[in-house]
Structure 1
């Protein structure tokens, strides 16, 4: 036979693990400094301009 587990504890542990993953994603998205956000925005704008400049007109 298998081990006896407390289903309530297992449910709470699974929920806590899911919240941990969401917290890591939020830390990556919102835990940046203003300079990092501005650098990312400038890089994104540069890539968008490069992509738009490479488009072919039909």
Structure 2
């Protein structure tokens, strides 16, 4: 009857890798978004910024006003 020889260093490293992968998977579920979701959010943000910018009134001292003396 012989016991299986176990290298404790390798077991610790494997356990650490497994724990790290589990943590990464949890983080992906919590915080991750797909590339399509990020692109869609970026397009929406740019569209809204363009809308706001196009409705902005010219301020004092802008070059669109003409001065007459």
With the length of structure 1 as denominator, give the TM-score of the two structures.
0.51
Map 1:24-35 to 2 at 5 A: 24-32=25-33, 33=37
Greater gyration radius: 2
Alignment RMSD: 1.6
- The equivalent of 1:12 in structure 2 is 13
5+ unaligned residues in a row in structure 2: which ranges? 41-69
**Aligned residue-pair number:** 35
Q: State how far apart, in whole Å, the 2-side matches of 1:10 and 1:27 are.
A: 26
With the length of structure 2 as denominator, give the TM-score of the two structures.
0.44
4+ aligned runs moved over 4 Å, structure 1: none
Question: What is the deviation of 1:2?
Answer: 1.5
Question: What is the deviation of 1:7?
Answer: 0.5
Three-state SS of the structure 2 residue aligned to 1:3 is coil
- The equivalent of 2:3 in structure 1 is 2
Question: What is the deviation of 1:5?
Answer: 1.4
